[in-house]
Structure 1
Amino acid sequence: MTNSGNCYKPRLLLAKLGIPFLHVETGSGPAGTTSAEFLARNPNGRVPLLQLADGRVLAESNAMLLHLAEGTRFLPADAYNRALAYQWLFFEQYSHEPYVAVRRALLTMPHRAADATPERLAATLIGGNKALAVMQEQLARTPFFAGDEISVADIALYAYTHDAGAGGFDLGSYPAIGAWLRRVEADPGHVPMDWTG
């Protein structure tokens, strides 16, 4: 799905690595992620799903990032910096995506409108701003999340953060995040979220 940050993450890394790929748009429902064919490849019934050249498949966007980044500049060679990249990947899935991405979905996707209760919107706004504040603090100290160089952590966190305004988050309140977004965008090979190869 082109408007999914989780689907954007591997597309963005593939673009930055200069690796060609075929994007296949898949919806939800019987013809998409709940079809027998899709479930045979990913029993969890979710996108993205990466099929490698040899036919093997890999689910979970951050696992895809780690696989694709192996031996590249996006996975730090230093063991500690690599662990920092992993730390931020976990942060993205547990402290950022459930609030920033979910609030964006509640406000922009018609099929999620019924879930957009005042309580849910308030909770996701609080949780998202907490995550953005943690990011702001780190980025006030280092140019990227795992130190001085861009890594998979930046790709993962960029995917939903760059569009956080659609979820009602005021990125103007986080100047270090704004500067970081511009650094990620200036990195060679950058493509927008709607790019599909």
Structure 2
Amino acid sequence: MQIYGDSISGNCLKVKWAADHLGLAYDWIETDVLKAETRTPAFLALNPAGQVPAVILDDGRPLAQSNAILLHLAEGSDLIPADAYLRARMLEWMFWEQYSHEPYVAVARFQVRYLGKPVSSLDPKLVERGNGALKRLEDGLSGGGFLVGQRVSLADIALVAYTRSAHEGGFDLALYPSVQAWVKRVETALKIA
């Protein structure tokens, strides 16, 4: 399998971390979004959306979108709960991550860290919604453990990627102690630094 990804992207890293956790063999192909490497004709032939991550599976079929890739890679593993309700809760968190977390936390991080914008220049709604997402996560983790039960799942992998680097977008994770403790649990479970 080949994974096309940019190491600065949480969406790409979550695919890498899942593959590593599952012991899957892959070749990582660094694809720099800041250098427009996802806009070349060769890459667009692989993924017409021009986004990373993208994978070429062992049988040659391409697959894009980080959470779709996660679901495919983890099929049949303990990263997907066997219980139908818990599996649905995992998916609930994963859908929420792409709609209500990543568009705010990751975008603020990108603008501050990679575009060099001062935090004070960020759109106030972006900051407000990013803090709202972190608060929702804090509330969801108030009982300890992981997002779905007492073991790491794809929901945790999907959400930890940008949450652990939220400070790079000006978010103060000290305001969210349950989130901070959860990040450490997920990093330990996945063996990521």
TM-score, structure 1 as length reference: 0.89
CA RMSD of aligned residues (A): 1.9
Are residues 1:73 and 2:78 paired? yes
Question: Which residue of structure 2 lines up, in the alignment, with residue 97 of structure 1?
Answer: 102
Task: Determine the structure 2 residue equivalent to 1:47.
Answer: 52
Given the superposition, is the C-alpha separation of residues 169 and 31 from structure 1 closer, same or farther in structure 2, using an over 3 Å criterion? Answer: closer
In the other structure, the counterpart of 1:149 is 151
- Paired AA for residue 20 in structure 1: A
Q: Distance in 1 between matches of 2:15 and 2:180?
A: 22
Partner secondary structure for residue 140 of structure 1: coil
> 1 CA distance for matches of 2:106 and 2:36?
25
Corresponding position: 1:12 with 2:17: yes
Flag the structure with more relative contact order, 1 or 2, with Cα contacts below 8 A and sequence separation at least 6. 1
In terms of fraction of residues, the more strand-rich structure is: 2
1:132-147 correspondence runs (5 A): 132-147=134-149
Distance 1:64 1:154 in 2: 15
Tell me how far apart the structure 1 counterparts of residues 31 and 117 of structure 2 sit (CA, whole Å): 21
Distance (Å, rounded) in 1 between the aligned partners of 2:132 and 2:154: 22
Inter-partner Cα distance in structure 1 for 2:134 and 2:36: 37
Structure 1 distance, partners of 2:122, 2:140, is 29
SS of 1:24 mapped into structure 2: strand
Measure how far apart 1:141 and its partner are: 2.4
Contact 1:29–1:35, Cα closer than 8 Å, also in 2: no
Q: CA deviation at 1:142?
A: 4.7
- 1:50 partner SS: strand
Q: Which ranges in structure 1 are unaligned for 5 or more consecutive residues?
A: 193-197
Pick one of 118, 121, 129 that aligns with 2:121. Answer: 118
User: % of aligned pairs identical?
Assistant: 45
Tell me how many residue pairs correspond in the alignment.
Answer: 188
Q: Deviations over 1:108-142 (max 9, x none)?
A: 113x749x88352x222100110011111110025
Hey, which bits of structure 1, 4+ residues long, moved more than 6 A?
A: none
Structure-2 change in CA distance of 1:30 and 1:10 (3 Å)? closer
Q: How far apart, in 2, do the equivalents of 1:164 and 1:84 lie?
A: 23
* Structure 1 stretch displaced more, 76-85 or 177-186: 177-186
Shift of 1:29: 8.0
SS in 2 for 1:33: helix
Q: Once the two structures are superposed, what CA deviation does each residue of 1:125-183 show, in whole Å capped at 9, x if it has no partner?
A: 10011001111111002511112221000000000000111111111111111111111
TM-score of the superposed pair, with normalisation by structure 2: 0.91
The amino acid that maps onto 2:31 is T
Contact 1:33 1:47 in 2 (8 A): yes
> SS at 2:174's partner residue?
helix
Which amino acid is 2:173 matched to?
L
1:195 is aligned to none
Structure 1 residue aligned with 2:3: none
Note the C-alpha offset of 1:97.
Answer: 0.3
**Cα distance, 1:117–1:168 mapped onto 2, change above 3 Å:** closer
